[in-house]
Amino acid sequence: MVEGPGCTLNGEKIRSKVKTGQEVKQVRGSLTNKNNSETNAFHGFLGCQYTGVETLGKELFMYFGSRALRLHFGMNG
């Protein structure tokens, strides 16, 4: 499991690899296939431009203009 400092490192890794302004071209994963693309919230990120990433404790936020993706690294402690 990722601890708070590990979450910060993940944010730094994203910052170094994803450039501001990059466009989301594809969304994939097991949760993205459960519903069709019209009702699946993940597909709402297609075409959005990445604007930044922030970490707060065990949470990581990726920003795409007015949209944000919140990731919580569930763990005890």
pLDDT tens figures, 2-48: 566 888 999 999 999 999 999 999 988 777 666 666 677 888 899 99
Nearest to 69 by CA among 77, 55, 36: 55
- Domain harbouring 30, CATH code: 3.20.190.10
Among the listed residues 2, 18, 27, 53, the single catalytic one is 2
Q: What is the pLDDT of residue 30?
A: 77
Specify if 77 maps to a domain: no
Domain total for the chain? 1
Q: Where are the alpha helices (DSSP H) in 1-77?
A: 4-17
Active site residue 18: no
Tens-digit pLDDT profile for residues 53-67? 999 988 999 999 999
Specify if 38 maps to a domain: yes
The domain containing residue 47 runs over which residues?
Answer: 4-72
How many whole angstroms separate alpha carbon 58 and alpha carbon 76?
10
Specify if 43 maps to a domain: yes
How many whole angstroms separate alpha carbon 9 and alpha carbon 30?
25
